[in-house]
Amino acid sequence: MRYVIASVAALGLAAFVASQSPAGAQNQGGNAAPGTSQPAAMTIGAVAAKLESQGYSVRAIELDDGVYEVKVVDRQGARLKANLNPATGEPVAGWKND
């Protein structure tokens, strides 16, 4: 389990670093997906970076049925889960206890 969390954290860091470069900025969520007017989905690394910047410790992220299913631990140690909008990384229906 720790290896998965470390891998997710590393991906998040890599996505954050890539987003700071001009080439990386062109591929971040918010841009229209090719051939559609829908925003492109964020990468798992970008979702992890966003959650970590908000003070969450990421336990798991999975893309399922068009949304990111995430499990995190907040600053107070509470274990939470949520379904996130793939384009914005925002909770679809709020956070729930895990």
Total structural domains within the chain: 1
> Looking at residue 4, what is its pLDDT?
53
Mean pLDDT of 77-94: 96
Which structural domain, as residue segments, surrounds residue 49? 2-97
- Radius of gyration over alpha carbons of the chain, in Å? 13
Check residue 8 and give left, alpha or beta (phi > 0: left; psi -120 to 50: alpha). alpha
For 22-31, write each residue's pLDDT tens digit.
444 444 444 5
Output 10 or 79, whichever has higher pLDDT.
79
> Looking at residue 21, what is its pLDDT?
41
pTM over 0.95: no
Two tokens at 21? 């470069």
For 41-85, write each residue's pLDDT tens digit.
999 999 999 999 999 999 999 999 999 999 999 999 999 999 999
